[in-house]
Structure formats: C-alpha cells, structure tokens
Chain A
Amino acid sequence: MEVKVGDEIPEWVMESVSAPRMATMAAILRDPNPLHWDRDAVDKGGWGLGRRTINQGPLDLSYMINMLHCWSGENSIRHIKMTFPMPLVVDGDRVVAKGVVTAVNQDKEGQLAECHIWLDRDGTTLLDGTARVLIPA
C-alpha cells in the first residue's frame, strides 16, 4: 500500500458501546470510578445521561487503534495522542473512528504517515488527535 496526503482512512464503527465491556474494563484497570459500572451513580450525577454508564477514555481511544490496525496492519502505530473534547461516550452509543493522512515521510522501513484522527458520534467530535503510522514498504 502507498499512501498520500489527503487519503481518508476507512472508518471503524462500534455499533453499540457496551456496559458489560465497561465493567470488565474497570476490573482490568482497577478503576474505582463508579460512573463506568454503576447506573445509579450516573443517574445521581445530574449530567442528564439517565442510567447509561460512561465509557472509559482508553476504550474510546482503542477504537482509533482498531481503525488504524484495520488500515495499516497490526504493529503499525508508532505514536498516538488523543484529546478528549467531548468525552461522554455512554453505553448504547454508536461511534465511528475516522481519519485522514496529513503528511507522509519516507523511512527506511517504509512510509511514515502522519494522520489526523477523531471519534465521531452523529457529527460531533468526541475525541480528537494524531497518529504516526508505519506503512511497510
């Protein structure tokens, strides 16, 4: 594969963010924040989310990784940085990882693609960031 500036990365879709997966993730992370696994805690928080638990930031980020892996292959990500302008991804949400190539540099192992990547929900950017990905020669 050869990439160029302006190439769009094929989207990766999480059709429905899952509360049970958040609970498993909380156990793995030893994350004590009940907003990830206790519907009552979310409801009492007063954010207008009802009883929908809030996805962990690293899980949101993982959807970006999955998109990049599907595009450029496993072990291709050299650097990734994500900011969280609208971090409230909740269970049942449909979110879409998107990206575009912004620069390409030649490396001895192949092309190093600089990418703008983001996580979208109905036109709202939830996460926004960059990635550097190796496209093997």
Chain B
Amino acid sequence: MEGLSCMVSEETIKQLVGYEFPGGEYTIEHWENFLLTECTGAELMQDNVVHPVALFHVPIMGCNTTIAKMFELGHADSDASILVESYEWETFHPLKEDTPYKVSGGVIGAERCRGEEGDIYDRVQFRFELVDPQGELAARSVIIWYYTRTEESGD
C-alpha cells in the first residue's frame, strides 16, 4: 500500500534514541531569507532578522543532515509514509542573516505506537539547538514525526 513503510523491528527503532547528527555550522544569507519570507506571504523583517520559519530547515541543514536522511534514519521507504505530529520552536535571540550558527542535534525519543484503528507507526522525536557566535543558545527546534508502517515484513 502506497505511503506505508515496511516493518522494522521495535528494537531497531528504540536504538535510534541517542543518535547524534554530525553537527556543523549554518549561515543564512540574504537571498535565502528573502525567498523564504516571500514563500510565507510576509514582508522581510527589519534589521536583517530572519523569518522564524527558518527554524525548520536551518537546524537540519546546519547539522549536516537532510530531510531525506532523516526519513532514511527512521527506515521510511517513501516520502508519503511520514506524518507530522508537531513542530516546536523556542527563540531566545532572533536569528540574523550572515551570522554563523553552530548547530547540534539528534534523536531524543523513538517508540513504537499503535493508533486507535490498530495501525502501527513509530514516533520519532528530534531536537536541534542553534548557538550564536557569542556562544549563547539562540533557538531550539523539536520535530516529532510518525513513520507509518505495514505489518507485512520484518527486518
């Protein structure tokens, strides 16, 4: 059935907890903020502040990973098998253009769940942090995705 991943073991999923992405650094350039902000339908913010929607992709890319790799990490076998539970963003200092942020992140939760209709999915929780050049925590992002499964095959 399209949109559902083949079953991996519960143990495999639990072992994701503690996984850390390579980490790295990310600088949001003006062109990127310009296009990103335009996509939201808003005007550019003042003083080179970056639209907060950047808190989705900047932590991911700054961690030297990608959305596709995050799908693979949870053993998704199709893009359509992923559902979003929540995105949670905390901002301690506004993100600015042309500022190199140090980014770290990894998996802080992974568990097998069963929905009300008996459907099986794996709930995986990622957390990322951005630190500014002064060494202060600028923002934190938590992503919770569901990797939907079929019961047809094992690993």
Of residues 3 through 45 on chain B, the ones whose CB sits less than 8 Å from some CB of chain A are: 3, 32, 35-36, 38-42, 45
Interface size on A, residues (CB 8 A): 36
CA distance A29 to B79 in the complex (A): 14
Chain A positions within 8 Å of B99 at CB level:
none
Q: Which of A28, A63, A78 contacts B41 (CB 8 A)?
A: A63
- Say whether B61 contacts A30, CB under 8 Å: yes
Q: Are B86 and A28 neighbours in the complex by a CB distance under 8 Å?
A: no
Q: A49 interface residue, CB < 8 Å from B?
A: no
Contact-size category for B: 20 to 34
Contact A66 B41, beta carbon cutoff 8 Å: yes
Given contacts A62-B40, A62-B42, contact A82 B86 (CB under 8 A): yes
A108 is an interface residue with CB less than 8 A from chain B: no
Contact residues in A for B89 (Cβ distance below 8 Å): 79-81
Say yes or no: is A46 at the interface (Cβ < 8 Å to chain B). yes
Q: Are A30 and B66 in contact (CB under 8 A)?
A: yes
A23-67, CB under 8 A of B: which get 1 and which 0? Answer: 011001111111100000000011000000000011101110110
Whether B39 and A24, one on each chain, are in contact in the complex, defined by CB atoms closer than 8 angstroms, is yes
Q: B41 — nearest CB in chain A belongs to which residue?
A: A14
Q: In the complex, which residues of chain A have a beta carbon less than 8 angstroms from the beta carbon of B32?
A: 28
Contact of A58 among B57, B66, B85, B94 (CB under 8 A): B57
Cβ B52 vs Cβ A78 within 8 A: no
CB distance from B23 to the nearest CB of A (A): 17
Residues B79 and A34 in contact, CB atoms below 8 Å apart: yes
Residues of B within 8 A of A35 (CB): 79-80
Tell whether, in the assembled complex, residue A32 and residue B79 are in contact, meaning their CB atoms are under 8 Å apart: yes
- Neighbouring A residues of B116 by C-beta, 8 Å: none
Across the interface, do A30 and B67 meet the contact criterion of CB distance under 8 Å?
yes
On whether the beta carbons of B42 and A78 are closer than 8 Å, the reply is no
- Chain B 83-105, CB-CB to A under 8 Å as 1, else 0, gives 11111111100100000000000
Chain A interface residues toward B at CB < 8 A: 14, 21-22, 24-25, 28-35, 45-46, 57-59, 61-63, 65-66, 69, 74-75, 77-84, 87, 129
